[in-house]
Structure 1
Amino acid sequence: MDLRLIQFLSECRDEEHEAIDRWFHAFQPISMTMAGAISFARDTTRLAELLGTTESAAHNA
């Protein structure tokens, strides 16, 4: 591949990762506690943390 194309694609990938990180940072605090007490943070369901169960304490230990 042409070096310029490789560099351009690399820059696009970096910008995409930055945009995804900004999106997660902006929406991570939003939780759906009224709809099943589920909080989404980077594809992880954190029900135990919201409920304060022992699974959460064991996970964080």
Structure 2
Amino acid sequence: MNRTTLCVREVAAYLGIHRDMVYLLVKRNKIPHLVILNTIIFTKESLDVWAGGSGCNGA
């Protein structure tokens, strides 16, 4: 089975940015994410759309 959700650590590696930057983007609501039971999760599909658009231009 191919996983479509990622945790913060995996998103940092996937996007090539530091984990702290992922948390900052989440805090500023600049990156698509979900919070379920105090856990931040991301979908690969939403990250690909976000990164393909103007979303990756910084915080």
Question: Could you tell me the TM-score, scaled by structure 2's length?
Answer: 0.23
Larger relative contact order (C-alpha < 8 A, sep ≥ 6)? 2
Question: Could you tell me the TM-score, scaled by structure 1's length?
Answer: 0.23
Larger Rg: 1
